[in-house]
Amino acid sequence: MLAASLIDSGVPGGVAAKLALKLRGDAGGSCLDPTKLVERAGAGGDGPLASGRSHVRGGQAEQRETVDQRLARTLQYALLPDGLPVSPRARFAARYVAAASAENAGGDWYDAVLLDGGTVVLTVGDVIGGGVGAATAMGQLRSALTAYTLAEHDAAALFDRVDEYARLVPGAAGTTACVVQLDPATGQLSYASAGHAPPLVVGADGTARYLAPAPGRPFGIEGEPRTASVGWLGPGDVLVLYSDGALSLPGYSVGQSRARLVGAARSALADGPAADVDGACERLLTALTRDQPPQDDLVLLIARRLSGPVRPLRTSMPARPGQLSTLRQQLQDWMDGAGVGEQDAVSVQIAVGEAASNVVEHAYPPGQDGELQLSVSLSPQGDLSAEVSDRGSWRPPGEENQLRGRGLPLMRACMDSMDLSRVDPAGSETGGTGTGTGTGTTVRLRRRPRTPVGTVARGAPQTARRPRPEADFEVVADGDRVLLRLGGEVDLSTTEAIGKQIRAATRGNTTSTTVDLTRVTHLASAAVQLLFELANDGARLNQPAVLLVTAGSAAEQVVSLTGLDQVAKVGRQAAGSAK
């Protein structure tokens, strides 16, 4: 239906099918109304489809664009990658800005693919022309290049395979591109060009140089064979890939434009913390577009090689409820340093928090001291792995409370994989693939995080430990209605006390209850039990409970994953909205 509606709106069938898949849902999880895409294009708004720094700059918003031109711009944004990999040895950032002239917009792209072993493949490209045709060709070439990247490890041979495909794509002839294969562990890089400008390297000492041009013709054009060139990126050095929009400046010669890019890049990288590559990318974009909007699409893709790998986190502490907040803080500090983005960090915190709560609550008999262990690491291919273990005994979920037992499903929902293994007193392990000694349970969690493009990732060094507020609870009378406000970290250590207050506040209540979770920074499954109790009480009274959450928050994610949104009404507030 979505593809058919787009075709009716004038989008070619093949493009419509791709766009229908890309736009299946919006941030709230509801299906995107296909007519809204055309309405958004007609209104000239970027909406949720913009990728990276894709908003209109300068006086571009005042230009009159046709619906086809706005539709092309929307398609361009939708086909760009929405995230970049997280590597233990490098940081990445990207931006895209459409050309000031509507008919020139569309066709540029960027991409970064992290391979097994840690090698990253960085690509920027530029399709000739603009509009729907250029955006369509861009999407096809980018997809083909990504697929071939997984099988072909020679930069020049990679482009030769893409060249064969480009001859079958309408509008692809003449497309330029640059690909760099970088091993951030050694700094060795290999790069090839399809008629594209060479990358820029800004050293950790502030010096800058362009890599030697790699011989190569544009895609779809006959000519000499392409050859790969080699180079080296030192610790702390930054590689800058860019499209023609970074050099296309009226009144500037090619040499002047190249010199201007060098100066802007050196200044952008010198003005902020070394790890803040995203901030540097934004500063560079601002410098290049400050005087006038770009005459051509502008793409920036930046990679900084770290001076050393992200070290694993290994910590242990007493298995007590009061230690859970400390554990979360240590985990967050580690993810900040590893460059893990906000939404991935939320998911990891939920999963690790549930595994840790299980240790505190179930691993050791009452009155017996025990230990909780956590180890977290980032693999060369970008997988975040966490292990939560104890030396206690496994106790299966009891049947005394049917509202509990949501911890394991929450862990599985938040991570790409979850494995649980147990070692009995005889030393035999069950339920997992690892090995262990003595008694105990180990939960292994894995997730491949992505850094949202255009969003400042948590990667800059922290100057101070960010406060993680303790849980607080407030009852607000609103006529015959009850409003409960929760804030801070609602975990195993605070749920019991808050539960008593909630039950006291709602005892005998015959009207609906509203629970404000917009200030909650962590919501454990133990607290979910309380919310289900409220929801079930409201259902019996035919007065559904109402839960207020902040869009994109940990509370919203837990409410959705546990099914609370099926038994209670949920109101979502935009992040940063005033109460």
Distance CA 142, CA 281 (A): 22
Residue 49's nearest CA partner among 11, 31, 23 is 23
User: Which tokens go with 281?
Assistant: 């990318």
Mean pLDDT (the chain, rounded): 80
Q: What is the pLDDT of residue 253?
A: 85
Q: What is the pLDDT of residue 560?
A: 92
Q: 577: exposed, middle or buried (C-beta count within 10 Å: 0-12, 13-18, 19+)? A: exposed
pLDDT at 407 over 90: no
pLDDT at 431 over 80: no
Q: What is the pLDDT of residue 427?
A: 52
Q: What is the pLDDT of residue 44?
A: 41
Per-range mean pLDDT, top range of 167-176, 432-441, 541-550: 167-176
Q: What are phi and psi of 45, to 5 degrees?
A: -85, 150
Distance CA 126, CA 134 (A): 9
pLDDT at 533 over 90: no
Residue 239's nearest CA partner among 54, 91, 457 is 91
Q: Where are the alpha helices (DSSP H) in 438-522?
A: 492-506
Return left, alpha or beta for 576; rule: phi > 0 is left, psi -120 to 50 is alpha, else beta: left
Q: What is the mean pLDDT of residues 75-93?
A: 91
Q: What is the pLDDT of residue 434?
A: 39
Q: What is the mean pLDDT of residues 219-245?
A: 92
The secondary element (H helix, E strand) that includes residue 486 is: strand 481-490
For 259-301, write each residue's pLDDT tens digit.
999 999 999 998 777 678 999 999 999 999 887 777 788 999 9
For the stretch 534-567, what's the b/e string if a residue is b when 16 or more beta carbons lie within 10 angstroms of its beta carbon?
Answer: bbebbeeeeeebbbbbbeebbbbbbbebbebbeb
Residue 11's nearest CA partner among 3, 102, 79 is 3
Q: What is the pLDDT of residue 543?
A: 82
Q: What is the pLDDT of residue 498?
A: 85
pLDDT at 53 over 90: no
Q: What is the mean pLDDT of residues 150-159?
A: 86
| Confidence band for 519, pLDDT divided at 50, 70 and 90 | very high
Distance CA 385, CA 35 (A): 42
| Confidence band for 509, pLDDT divided at 50, 70 and 90 | low
pLDDT at 575 over 80: no
130-139, 440-449, 458-467 — which is least confidently predicted?
A: 458-467
User: Which tokens go with 244?
Assistant: 């023609």
CB 226 within 8 A of CB 217: yes
User: Which tokens go with 570?
Assistant: 């949920």
Q: Whose structure tokens read 């050791």?
A: 364
Distance CA 177, CA 198 (A): 10
Specify the amino acid at residue 348: V
pLDDT at 198 over 50: yes
pLDDT at 136 over 50: yes
pTM confidence score: 0.81
pLDDT at 4 over 60: no
Q: Report CA torsion sign: 254, 255, 256, 260.
A: positive
